[in-house]
Amino acid sequence: MSQHPHLHHSHPEIVKRLKRSHGHLRTVIDMVETGRSCLDIAQQLHAVEKAIGQAKKTLIQDHLDHCLDEVVVPLEPDRRGALDDFKDIIKYL
């Protein structure tokens, strides 16, 4: 792991999403402990899962847009096509 901070413009939004997810997850734990219905719990777990997944997707896309571009920029435009295609297709994951 790197010892120096590695920050991007998307990181504050990612942190906000993760903190919100953390709060929702605490609520889900309380729901399980107090015997709420499985449907209610499943709905809340789904929301937490989606929020974390979106945070992960945002982080990966930001990494591709900034970190990998530093490596690829020196390449000729016709050699960048595979990375550009990859960046486009991961949006559908």
As a whole-number percent, the residues of the chain with pLDDT over 90 amount to 47
Q: Are 6 and 15 in contact (CB under 8 A)?
A: no
Tokens 């990181």 found at: 11
Please, what is the average pLDDT of the chain? 85
Quote the pTM value. Answer: 0.72
- Sequence spans of domains, the chain: 11-92
- What confidence tens digit (pLDDT) does each residue in 15-48 have? 999 999 999 999 999 999 999 999 999 999 999 9
Confidence band, pLDDT 50/70/90 cuts, at residue 85: confident
The domain at 11-92 falls in which architecture? Up-down Bundle (1.20)
What is the number of alpha carbons within 13 Å of residue 52 lying toward its C-beta? 11
Find the mean pLDDT for residues 58-81.
Answer: 76
Q: What's the token pair of residue 38?
A: 């499985």
Candidates 44, 45, 57; CA nearest to 90 is 57
- Helix (H), strand (E) at residue 83: helix 81-89
pLDDT of residue 1: 53
